[in-house]
């Protein structure tokens, strides 16, 4: 932590504590439900989209990769303005509700017209709307509970988010067994519309908008964008995030395509099982990570564990084709993505503490995620079409190893209490 950041920490913590003290329990429960319902907007239909386009619409792998990639690119392009808007505006609830409505109706268009000329533009719109979900949710959470309780709140959000994905996958298994793949998208639309309604249960007066953007003090100007980007360790962290998602994003969609080819008819059920086991593991991981954070563990060692399981997952996917085997390998995603969802958010918040640019920084993290995801889906689709699925999985594993090496070497520990210890020792011992 820089000296300036350490000077403002007590003020921020006091502001956050007072913010949470005035929040009714029903408001925090509404935040729980929002995290639960947003699950299928943020994460839910991507893998199923690959299965649907391959199995029902008979798209080629490269075109499927393009459809997923344009969504990621649109999200990436919208993330910086989304983060800036969430930081600058007090209508965070309206931004989230509007994104939910757009995603809900856009999802319907995908299933009603599964042709490239219709799906690709809709994917752009859905990607742009999704850019507001991450920064908006973090801004609401920080504005309600404050920085002291943000780690526990983020872990709780992630737990409810994974529980939402888990319940959504269970419902999909039951519904698609009778009605077919198309109903996946109708269900996702229902989740999106319900999330827009739940936002109204969070009163505007309960949100401290200065705390929500991490301002150094009430009314103080935020850092410039250049100063924000020059925060020590932040650029290397963003690069590590990009490499992680370069290795991660295409793995499950590729596995879904393998299932559609090798086990037609059981692909949707197997994909649901993959999501169920991964999300079940993520719920537990979010709880464990939250407890570990409360117990004083640093961010870096926990994040390294999450990075380390991804290369192993890719190598295993390269040699496993049975539905049961793919389901078991996908359990590793529960560890990696479960840790990433909590700790990446906290690392970015640590690095931006006192800057007034917390949600902008979260947008940049999501931008790195989107760029990595777009390159992953687009590149993996081309590699698979030329060299086959095994080469695609091994290439993704190599990118994951690069993320692990870079983060280990170039990103320091960011937990404020741990970073402050050397400075405190220097003051005490001269």
pLDDT reading at 406 higher than 80? yes
Note the Cα 182 to chain centre separation in Å.
25
pLDDT in tens, 87-144: 777 888 888 888 888 888 888 888 888 788 888 898 898 888 888 888 888 888 888 8
329-385 pLDDT, tens per residue? 888 988 998 899 889 988 988 888 777 777 788 888 888 887 898 889 888 888 988
**128-153: string of b/e by CB count within 10 Å (b at 16+)?**
bbbbbbbbbbbbbbbbbbbbbbbbeb
Strands, DSSP E only, in 340-414?
Answer: none
Q: What is the rounded CA–CA span in Å between residue 170 and residue 153? A: 26
**How far, in Å, CA of 362 to CA of 79, rounded?**
9
Q: pLDDT band at 244, cuts 50/70/90?
A: very high
Task: Tell me the C-alpha distance between 351 and 414, whole Å.
Answer: 7
pLDDT attached to residue 391: 92
Whether 54 contacts 257, CB under 8 Å? yes
Over the stretch 194-222, which tens digit does the pLDDT of each residue have?
A: 888 888 888 888 888 777 766 655 555 56
d(CA 313, CA 252): 10
Sequence-distant (6+) residues with CB within 8 A of 178 are: none
Alpha-carbon Rg for the chain, nearest whole angstrom, is: 21
CA–CA gap between residue 53 and residue 249 (Å, rounded): 17
The two three-digit tokens of residue 115, written as one number: 């042709």
Residue 401 pLDDT exceeds 50: yes
CATH number for 280: 1.20.1250.20
- Residue 201, helix vs strand vs coil: coil
Question: What sign has the CA pseudo-torsion 115, 118, 123, 129?
Answer: negative
Q: How confident is the model at residue 428 (pLDDT cuts 50, 70, 90)?
A: very low
State the Cα angle at 30 between 364 and 45, rounded to 5°. Answer: 55
Q: From 351, 378, 379, select the one nearest 365 (Cα to Cα).
A: 351
Task: Supply 364's token pair.
Answer: 């940049």
Picking from 167, 132, 200, the residue whose alpha carbon sits closest to that of residue 36 is 167
Query: Rounded to an integer, what distance in angstroms lies between the CA atom of residue 407 and that of residue 400?
Result: 11
What angle, rounded to 10 degrees, do the helices at 251-262 and 299-319 form? 20
The rounded distance, in Å, linking the Cα atoms of 277 and 273 is: 6
Neighbours of 292 (CB within 10 A): 19
Report the half-sphere exposure of 410 (CA within 13 A, side-chain side): 15
| Alpha-carbon span 7 to 47, nearest angstrom | 45
CA 420 to chain centre: 29
Range of the domain at 193: 3-429
**pLDDT for 12:** 40
> Residue 255: what pLDDT?
86
∠ CA 376-114-273, nearest 5°, is: 60
Q: Please give the model's pTM, rounded to 2 decimal places.
A: 0.69
Question: 3-state DSSP: the chain helix, strand, coil percent, rounded to 5?
Answer: 85, 0, 15
Q: What pLDDT score does 253 carry?
A: 85
What's the structural domain count of the chain?
1
């Amino acid at each position: 932590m820089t000296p300036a950041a350490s000077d403002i920490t007590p003020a921020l913590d006091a502001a956050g504590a007072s913010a949470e003290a005035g929040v009714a329990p029903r408001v925090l429960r509404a935040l729980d439900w929002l995290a639960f319902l947003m699950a299928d907007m943020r994460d839910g239909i991507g893998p199923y989209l690959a299965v649907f386009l391959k199995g029902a619409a008979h798209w080629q792998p490269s075109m499927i990769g393009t459809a997923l990639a344009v969504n990621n690119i649109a999200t990436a392009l919208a993330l910086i303005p989304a983060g800036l808007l969430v930081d600058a505006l007090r209508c965070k609830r309206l931004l989230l509700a509007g994104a939910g409505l757009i995603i809900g109706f856009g999802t319907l268009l995908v299933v009603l017209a599964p042709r490239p000329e219709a799906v690709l533009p809709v994917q752009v719109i859905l990607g742009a709307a999704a850019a507001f979900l991450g920064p908006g949710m973090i801004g609401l959470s920080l504005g309600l509970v404050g920085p002291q309780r943000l780690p526990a709140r983020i872990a709780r959000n992630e737990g409810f988010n994974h529980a939402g994905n888990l319940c959504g996958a269970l419902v999909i298994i039951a519904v698609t067994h009778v009605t077919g793949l198309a109903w996946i998208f109708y269900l996702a639309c229902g989740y999106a519309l319900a999330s827009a309604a739940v936002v109204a249960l969070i009163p505007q007066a309960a949100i401290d908008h200065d705390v929500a953007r991490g301002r150094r003090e009430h009314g103080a100007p935020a850092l410039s964008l250049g100063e924000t980007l020059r925060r020590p360790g932040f650029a290397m962290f963003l690069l590590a995030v990009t490499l992680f998602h370069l290795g991660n994003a295409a793995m499950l969609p590729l596995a879904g395509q393998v299932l559609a080819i090798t086990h037609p008819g059981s692909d949707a059920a197997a994909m649901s099982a993959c999501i169920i086991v991964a999300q079940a593991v993520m719920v537990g991981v979010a709880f464990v990570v939250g407890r570990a954070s409360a117990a004083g563990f640093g961010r870096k060692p926990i994040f390294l564990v999450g990075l380390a399981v991804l290369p192993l997952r890719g190598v295993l996917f390269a040699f496993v084709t049975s539905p049961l085997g793919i389901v078991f390998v996908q359990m590793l995603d529960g560890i990696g993505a479960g840790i990433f969802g909590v700790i990446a958010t906290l690392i970015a918040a640590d690095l931006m503490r006192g800057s007034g640019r917390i949600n902008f920084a979260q947008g940049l993290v999501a931008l790195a995620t989107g760029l990595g995801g777009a390159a992953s889906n687009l590149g993996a689709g081309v590699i698979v079409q030329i060299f086959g699925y095994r080469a695609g999985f091994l290439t993704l594993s190599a990118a994951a190893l690069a993320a692990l090496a870079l983060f280990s070497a170039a990103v320091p520990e960011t937990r404020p209490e741990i970073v402050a210890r050397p400075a405190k020792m220097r003051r005490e011992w001269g």
